[in-house]
Chain A
Amino acid sequence: MALERVMHVEDDESIRAVAEIALTDVAGFTLLSCESGQSALAQAEAFAPQLILLDVMMPQMDGLQTLAALRQIPALAKTPVVFMTAKIQQAEKQRYLDAGAVGIIEKPFEPMELGDTLSQLYQQHSV
C-alpha cells in the first residue's frame, strides 16, 4: 500500500508551513499537522496515520517523549516514525533509531523531495 496519511509534529511554525506544502501540494498526502506532542497525542488515534514525522527538539514534550506516549496507544504501537532534526552526530542518530525510528531526516531539508523520502522510508519499512 502506498503512503497516503502522514502526521507531522513540529513546533516551528515556518517549518510546518513548508512541510505542509511539501507534503500536500507536492506529494499529495493527506496531512495532519500538529504544533506540539500534546496536540499530536490528542488527535493521532482518530487520524490513524500510516507514518509519523516527528521533530526532535520541542518544548515541553520532545520528540522521544512524544514517541513513547504515542506507542501507548495500541493502534499506533507499530506505526513507523521518522525523526526530523538539525543534529547530525552519529551517537544521537543511533539513539533515535534505537528508540524505533525507521529513518532520520536532517534539517535543512529540500521541500520538493520530502514526500519522496518519506514514501521510500515507508516502502522499505513495509517490506
Chain B
Amino acid sequence: MSNAKSRADLSAAFATLRRRFEASLPERSAKMLALMEQPSHSNLSDVVAEAHKLAGACGTFGQSVLGSHARQIEQLAIEVDSKDDDERLQALPSLRQVVLEFDIAVQTALQQVSVEEAENAEKLHQPDTVWLLLTSATLAEELTRQLQAFGHKVECFNDFNSCLTRLQSTAPAVLFSVIHAKNGDSLFKQTLLLKQLKQLRSRLLVLSDRDEFTLRINAVQHRADAFFVSPLDIPNMIATISELLEHGNKQSGRVVIVDDDQLLAQHYALVLNSAGIETHIIANTRQIIAELLVFQPDLLLMDMYMPEYSGAELAGVIRQYPSLKRLPIVFLSSEINKTLQLSAMAYGADDFLTKPIDDAQLVQAIKTRLQRSLQLKSLIEKDSLTALIKHSAIKQVAELEFERSQRYGKPCSVVMLDIDHFKAVNDNYGHATGDLVITALATLLRKRIRKTDKAGRYGGEEFMLVLPNCPRPEAVVLTQQILDAFRLLNFGDGAGHFKCTFSAGVASSEDAQYSAAEQMIEAADKAMYRAKRTGRNQVL
C-alpha cells in the first residue's frame, strides 16, 4: 500500500472536507425544519433519512455532539411516524422541538468553529507570500519570476479546490486569482474559499477576461482590492501588490483634532490612537494654521461651536491656504439642524458627524474618510507607475527637510539616482520591460529606506531620495546597498535576461553652506553626472 500523499496533505484534505461539511449543516438542518412544517408520512421518513445521515456524518467530521443529537431526532422521528394519527399529532411538537434544538446546536457549533478559526488565522498568515491562481501557465511563470525578484514568496494553483486545501495549512498575504477557472467555475461562487480568505485576512486581487460591470460589482462585494482585465498590465499589478503589502505595515493616517473641550479632545485622540491613527490636538485656535502646516494631517476633526471662533470660520481661513485646500475637514457637533449644517459646509467643510457619537462609530467614520483622503492624496502626489512621490512633491519634501535641518542643526541628505543605459533597455526590450525596470527600482527604494525617508520619481528614469537626519557617509552606504541589490535583479522575457545598474550622486546639508534646498539638489545632480562620466554603476 502506497502513501501517495504526505500526512500533512491528507489532514489538510480532510480539514477541507470537514469545513465543506460544516458549511452544509445549516442548510441540512433547515431542510429538516421545513419538512417538519408539513409532517406527512413521507416527509417524516425524509426527516428520518436526513437525521440518519447526519448522525453518521457528524461524528466522522468531529462533531460528535451534533451526531448524537441527530441520532435522537432519527429515533424520535421513527417512533412518531409509527404512531396512529391522534398520537402522532400529540407527539409532533416534541419532535419539532428536538429538530429546532439541533438547528440551534448547529449554529453554536459553527460559531465555535469560527472562533477557533480566527485564532488560527494569526498563525497561518504568511505576510510576504503571494498566491497565483491563473489559467495561463506562461503568465503564472512570468509573474512568479517578477514577484520573486521583489522578495515575495510565490505559490501557483490551477483550480479553486487545491487553493482551498492549501488554505488549511497556510494563508497568503495576497491571492491573485482569475474570476473564471479553466473548467468554467466562477471565483465568486467559491463561498467557502472567499470566506476563509476573509477570515485569514488574505487580500484578494482578481483578473477578469472581460470588463463587465456586474463582475466589478461582484469583486467589490467580495472585498477584492483590485480588478484587472486581461491582458494583464504586469507592472501595474506588481506595483499594486507591493503597495498592498507595504500599506499593511503603515499607520492608517494622521488626524488633527480641534475642540475647546480638552477632555473630549483627549478622549477622541485616545480612541483614534487605539485604532492605529496618529493624532494631534490643537488647543489654541489662533495657532491652527501653523500647527496644520507642521503636522501635515490627512484629516481635520473640528468642533463646530467654540468660544472664540466658530468651526465654519476656521474652515474658511484654512481654505485660504493653497496647501491646505485639499485637507478634508469633518465637523463634530450636536447640531442636528440640517440647514445650519449645510451652511457650515459652505465654508469649506466636507462632512458632519453628530454628537454624541460612540467610540466605534467615530473610528469607523474617521477611518472611511481617512482612507478616501489618503487614496486621493496618493493619486495626486504619487507617480502612477512607481507609486513614488512625483517630481513636484518630492522637491517640496526636500525643501521642507532642508529647512528643518537648518532649524534643528541636524544634517539631511539628498540622493539623485539615474538608471544606466535606460534608453537601450527600452529600445532592445520594449517599453513594457523598461517600465518593469523602473517599478523594480522604485520598489527597492521604498523597501530599503527608513520610514522618515522619502523616495520620489524625479524624471523618466531618474529618482530622488530625501533622507532627513542622515549625514553623508550613511547616505552613501544606504545608496550603495540599494545599488548592490538592484544589480542582482534579472529582467527580460524568455529570450534573454539582462541586468541593470544605476549611477547616484549624494549631497548632504553639511557639505557646503547651501542657502536653499535647490542648491543641494543641484549638487547631488552634479555628483550623479560625475558618476555617469567616470564609469557608471557607482555612488559618488
Contact size range, B? 20 to 34
What residues of chain A lie closer than 8 Å to B346, measured between beta carbons?
none
Given the known interface contacts A18-B60, A26-B3, the answer about A111 and B14 at a Cβ–Cβ threshold of 8 Å is: yes
Contacts of B60 in A (CB 8 A): 15, 18, 107-109, 111
A45 part of interface (Cβ distance < 8 Å): no
Chain B residues, CB < 8 A from A90: none
A28 touches B52 (CB 8 A): no
Q: Point out the residue from B5, B24, B55, B61 that lies within 8 Å of A25, measured CB to CB.
A: B5
Instruction: Tell yes or no: B495 within 8 A of A by CB.
Output: no
B3 near A107 with CB under 8 A, answer no
Interface presence of B49 (CB below 8 A)? yes
Contact partners of A27 in chain B: CB under 8 A: 1
CA distance A26 to B14 in the complex (A): 11
B14 → chain A closest CB, angstroms: 6
In the complex, A119→B221 CA distance in Å? Answer: 50
Residues of B within 8 A of A15 (CB): 53, 56-57, 60
**Chain B at the A interface: mostly helix, strand, loop or mixed?**
helix
CB of A74 closer than 8 Å to a CB of B: no
Known interface pairs A107-B57, A108-B67. Does A14 touch B20 (Cβ–Cβ under 8 Å)? Answer: yes
Q: Does B229 contact A (CB under 8 A)?
A: no
Q: In this assembly, does B4 line the interface, its C-beta being within 8 Å of a C-beta of chain A?
A: yes
B64 (CB) vs chain A CBs: closest residue: A108
Chain B residues whose CB sits within 8 angstroms of the CB of A127 once the complex forms? none
Residues of A near B49 (CB, < 8 A) are: 57, 59
- Bound-state CA distance A26–B10 (Å) is 8
> What are the interface flags for B9-26 relative to A under an 8 Å C-beta threshold, 1 for contact and 0 otherwise?
110011001001100100
Contacts A24-B4, A86-B71, A107-B55 known; list 20 others, CB within 8 Å.
Answer: A11-B53, A14-B20, A14-B24, A14-B61, A15-B53, A15-B56, A18-B14, A18-B60, A21-B10, A25-B4, A25-B10, A26-B3, A26-B10, A27-B1, A28-B4, A29-B1, A57-B52, A86-B56, A107-B59, A107-B60
29 contacts between A and B (CB under 8 A): A2-B1, A11-B53, A12-B53, A14-B17, A14-B57, A14-B61, A15-B56, A15-B57, A17-B20, A18-B61, A21-B17, A24-B4, A25-B5, A25-B9, A25-B10, A26-B3, A26-B10, A28-B1, A28-B3, A28-B4, A57-B53, A86-B52, A86-B71, A107-B57, A107-B60, A108-B59, A108-B60, A108-B61, A109-B60
